[in-house]
């Protein structure tokens, strides 16, 4: 365990530091104590030498006794430095502590005390005198001090080692190492996915700070597992909701396609009367020509009659092709479409549907304007919008109509995306407006105008599906269909924004893919 290794290193460093501190502090103190004792003894001997013992007083040079050395005159002066000698001369009769002397004679160095004795004889020169130095070395005291120092150091180190050993063997294993090991085992259980071993048992939780950490950890693990269970339940519910949404989106898409087909069938039904009237005229002409030929056996039709029959048959063919194109259900396509032709075909079909309406239709779309989309589906959009506009115009009495009643389709090409808001930055768009001179739109119905089966007076003769289907088709083309009232005079405007065919825009298939991804 790394904690135990760190503690062992810490114990070793502390032991070395303690020994160094004792060596620096206690050693000099004991040495100083011995030195003071030696100085006291030297001072005593010096007093004896200079005053009471005449024999020693008569001695010149150096006298060495056991542990004591007395030096006089030049022999004493050799022991002092120039500064110490000057200090002794300046204070005659006062003992001066010279300190410990160097070991030059093989003896253990001792402490030395010196005194300058002035010459009291008659006729002596002023300032003359003699230097006396006494050196004392108490070897047994120094040995005892050394032993005392070693004993103190050994005792202190032994006490610390005993304390450290008691901590390592009795206290730390239960109070530090065991709790850490339990925490590590519990964390490994969390990492390895062993739920039964993730929590620390209450019987193994101590009552100290480690116990508080363990209890907090157990609470965190329990909260984490509870959150995981809640998250799992939420994910299961989310999967169920996603599956349900997918199923509902499929039903909605199927219903939308059914609505589109229902709107197409409803439009065909409403066109049936006009179609019958439109077919009667060329059929009557053909019948008259064939009767004339039957009444004249052997005679051929004149060039004028043949040309008339060709025009009548062509008219019937065009009517049949228009109706088939409108009724035919094809897979959506994304290709360049001539918008002027689409609007013209839609107006032709509406004229068949609204044969008796006195309404002027105006196609103001440029002949070369191209958009990207499906021509058949765009025809259905404009049939619904133009038919609603015509119904709105007819709902206004003749004497109150603006300009006698007009439905116009205008287009603006190459509109930059910046002018249309958040619709991109590089593409260019085509804006088509279907305008009428009817009563306008009630603001209260605008939020629900494109909902299926929501019928207003503009769609009273229909099924309530036309605008909803038109809006869905435009959205599939990557465009937008909006409605508002005119600003110049009374009437409504349905505005379609489509990608321009010359710049690529957003393809129909890509738009449908984006809608599927959003679902």
Structure tokens at 309: 């029959």
Tell which residue, 223, 200, 222, 224, has the closest CA to residue 212: 200
At a CB cut-off of 8 Å and minimum separation 6, what does 350 contact?
361, 383, 386, 387, 390
pLDDT at 57: 47
Please list the pLDDT of the chain residue by residue as tens digits (519 residues). 577 777 778 878 888 888 888 888 877 787 777 777 777 777 777 777 666 444 444 544 555 556 777 888 888 788 888 888 888 888 887 888 887 765 554 445 678 888 888 776 545 566 677 888 888 877 677 778 778 888 888 888 888 888 888 888 888 787 888 888 888 889 998 888 888 888 988 888 888 888 889 899 899 999 998 999 999 999 989 988 888 888 887 777 777 666 666 666 666 665 554 455 456 556 766 777 677 777 777 777 778 777 767 766 776 776 666 566 655 555 566 788 899 999 998 888 787 666 557 788 999 999 889 988 888 778 878 988 998 888 888 888 887 787 778 899 999 887 776 666 644 545 678 999 999 988 888 888 888 787 766 655 444 455 566 787 788 888 888 888 999 998 888 889 999 988 886 543 344 444 444 444 444
Phi and psi of 198, rounded to 5°? Answer: -75, -35
As to burial, measured by CB atoms within 10 angstroms (0-12 exposed, 13-18 middle, 19+ buried), residue 287 is exposed
pLDDT at 364: 92
The CATH-assigned architecture of domain 332-518 is 2-Layer Sandwich (3.30)
pLDDT at 308: 67
Q: Is the pTM of this model over 0.85?
A: no
Pairing of strands 68-72, 111-118: unpaired
pLDDT at 451: 75
Structure tokens at 8: 């062992």
Give, as one character, the DSSP assignment of residue 417.
G
For residue 403, the number of C-alpha atoms closer than 13 Å in the C-beta half-sphere is: 16
Cβ–Cβ under 8 Å, residues 264 and 387: no
Reduced 3-state DSSP string for 153-207: HHHHHHHHHHHHHHHHHHHHHHHHHHHHHHHHHHHHHHHHCCHHHCCCCHHHCCC
pLDDT at 64: 54
pLDDT at 351: 79
pLDDT at 65: 55
pLDDT at 297: 75
pLDDT at 312: 67
Domains of the chain: which residue ranges? 2-160, 332-518
């Amino acid at each position: 365990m790394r904690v135990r290794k760190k503690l062992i290193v810490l114990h070793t460093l502390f032991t070395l530091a303690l020994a160094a501190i004792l060596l620096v502090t206690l050693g000099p103190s004991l040495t100083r104590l011995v030195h003071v004792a030696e100085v006291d003894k030297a001072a005593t001997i010096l007093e004896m030498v200079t005053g009471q013992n005449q024999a020693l007083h008569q001695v010149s040079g150096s006298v060495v006794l056991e542990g004591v050395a007395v030096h006089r005159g030049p022999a004493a002066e050799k022991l002092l430095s120039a500064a110490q000698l000057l200090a002794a001369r300046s204070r005659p009769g006062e003992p001066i502590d010279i300190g410990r002397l160097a070991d030059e004679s093989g003896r253990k160095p001792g402490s030395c005390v010196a005194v300058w004795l002035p010459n009291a004889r008659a006729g002596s020169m002023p300032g003359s005198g003699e230097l006396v130095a006494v050196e004392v070395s108490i070897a047994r005291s120094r040995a005892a001090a050394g032993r005392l120092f070693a004993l103190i150091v050994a005792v202190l180190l032994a006490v610390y080692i005993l304390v450290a050993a008691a901590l390592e063997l009795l206290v730390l294993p239960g109070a530090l190492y065991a709790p850490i090991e339990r925490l590590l085992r519990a964390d490994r259980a969390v990492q390895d996915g062993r739920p039964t071993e993730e929590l620390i048992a209450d019987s193994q939780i101590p009552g100290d700070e480690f116990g508080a950490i363990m209890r907090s950890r157990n609470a965190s693990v329990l909260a984490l597992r509870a959150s995981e269970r809640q998250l799992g339940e939420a994910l299961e519910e989310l999967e169920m909701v996603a599956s349900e949404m997918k199923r509902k989106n499929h039903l909605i898409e199927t219903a939308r396609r059914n609505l589109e087909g229902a709107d197409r069938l409803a439009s065909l039904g409403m066109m049936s009367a006009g179609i019958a009237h439109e077919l009667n005229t060329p059929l009557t002409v053909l019948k008259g020509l064939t009767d004339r030929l039957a009444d004249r056996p052997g005679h051929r039709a004149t060039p004028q009659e043949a040309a008339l029959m060709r025009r009548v048959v062509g008219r019937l063919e065009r009517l049949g092709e228009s109706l088939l194109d409108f009724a035919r259900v094809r897979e959506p396509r994304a290709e360049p479409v001539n918008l002027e032709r689409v609007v013209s075909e839609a107006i032709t079909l509406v004229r068949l549907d609204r044969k008796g309406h006195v309404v002027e239709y105006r196609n103001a779309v440029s002949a070369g304007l191209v958009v990207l989309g499906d021509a058949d589906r765009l025809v259905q959009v404009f049939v619904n919008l133009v038919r609603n506009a015509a119904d709105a115009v007819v709902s206004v009495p003749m004497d109150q109509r603006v300009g006698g009643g007009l439905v116009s389709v205008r287009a603006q090409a190459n509109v930059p995306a910046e002018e249309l808001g958040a619709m991109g930055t590089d593409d260019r768009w085509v804006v088509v407006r279907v305008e009428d001179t009817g009563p306008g739109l009630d603001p209260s119905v605008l939020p629900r105008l494109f909902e299926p089966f929501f019928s207003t007076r503009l769609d009273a003769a229909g099924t309530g599906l036309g605008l909803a289907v038109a809006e869905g088709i435009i959205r599939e083309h990557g465009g937008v269909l909006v409605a508002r009232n005119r600003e110049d005079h009374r009437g409504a405007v349905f505005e379609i924004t489509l990608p321009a065919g010359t710049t690529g825009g957003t393809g129909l298939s890509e738009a449908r893919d984006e809608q599927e991804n959003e679902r």
